């Protein structure tokens, strides 16, 4: 975008020495603990990080209305959270959210989803992506990916697409994807252009 200046997403004390040989520890959101987790994956520097390639690729899901959801197919929907409920007494505790749009209602459950009590609340608008099922004559998603949508959010279905990176118990694929994305544009400026201006 014209006139847009990119600031490398690195810690303040290391911004002035940002280069491809910089240890990943100094990237914002990494730190010593995650740097050790990256080291176990063979990633030590910014250059290593940018050469850490996905093992698979997720394509942007189809965004549909709730009444267009089809059992046994993957879909993405945007809906208003009507209610939430955490059922901890079950053998497998579940967190349940009921979402709606102008065409219908969908039940969403996450097994062992107690952590979602602080993330999802009635009145929020979310985008959920996952496999659709029909349970007791009601549309349902189980353990879908989701994103809370607000006025500042520019991410929609793009949030669910992109590389799936080899991960570990200390670093999820989504965390790795976010860290790589935060430095890619800044790192591009450090790599000499292969083609001359006349070719471009």
Q: Where are the domains of the chain?
A: 12-55+163-188, 66-157
DSSP conformational letter for 11:
-
Provide the pLDDT for residue 199: 44
Pairing of β 56-58 and β 162-164 = antiparallel
For the entire predicted model, the pTM comes to 0.57
Q: pLDDT (tens digit, 9 = 90+) per residue, 85-140? A: 999 887 889 999 999 999 999 999 999 888 899 899 999 999 999 999 999 899 99
H, E, C per residue of 169-188: CCCCHHHHHHHHHHHHHHHH
Pair 140, 118: CB distance under 8 Å: no
Distance of CA 134 to the CA centre of its chain: 26
Task: Report the first-to-last Cα separation within the chain, whole angstroms.
Answer: 17
Provide the pLDDT for residue 191: 60
Task: Give the separation between CA 120 and CA 104, rounded to whole angstroms.
Answer: 20
Provide the pLDDT for residue 66: 96
Pair 57, 71: CB distance under 8 Å: no
The residue among 133, 137, 134, 75 whose CA lies nearest residue 101 is: 75
Q: Enumerate the β-bridge partners of residue 134.
A: 139
DSSP conformational letter for 111:
E
Q: Within the chain, which residues score under 70 in pLDDT?
A: 1-18, 59-60, 151-161, 185-200
Assign 114 to helix, strand or coil: helix
Pairing of β 138-142 and β 104-111 = parallel
Strand stretches in the chain, DSSP E: 56-58, 74-87, 94-101, 104-111, 125-135, 138-142, 145-149, 162-164
Provide the pLDDT for residue 155: 56
The CATH code of the domain at 12-55+163-188 is 1.10.150
Task: Give the separation between CA 86 and CA 55, rounded to whole angstroms.
Answer: 35
12-55+163-188 and 66-157 have identical folds = no
Provide the pLDDT for residue 197: 52
Give, in words, the CATH class of 66-157.
mainly beta
């Amino acid at each position: 975008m014209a006139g847009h200046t990119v600031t490398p997403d690195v810690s303040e004390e290391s911004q002035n020495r940002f280069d491809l040989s910089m240890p990943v520890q100094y990237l914002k959101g990494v730190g010593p603990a995650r740097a050790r987790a990256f080291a176990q994956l063979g990633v030590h520097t910014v250059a290593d990080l940018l050469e850490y390639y996905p093992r698979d690729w997720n394509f942007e899901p189809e965004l549909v209305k709730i009444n267009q959801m089809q059992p046994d197919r993957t879909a993405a929907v945007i809906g208003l959270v009507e209610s939430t409920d955490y059922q901890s007494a079950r053998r497998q505790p579940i967190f349940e959210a009921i979402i709606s749009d102008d065409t219908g209602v969908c039940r969403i459950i996450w097994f062992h989803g107690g952590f979602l009590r602080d993330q999802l609340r009635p009145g929020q608008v979310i985008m959920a992506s996952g496999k659709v099922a029909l349970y007791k004559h009601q549309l349902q998603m189980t353990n879908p990916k989701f994103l809370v949508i607000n006025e500042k959010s520019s991410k929609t279905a793009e949030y669910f697409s992109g590389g799936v990176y080899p991960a570990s118990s200390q670093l999820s694929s989504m965390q790795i994807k976010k860290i790589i994305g935060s430095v890619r544009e800044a790192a591009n400026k450090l790599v000499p252009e292969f083609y001359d201006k006349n070719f471009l």
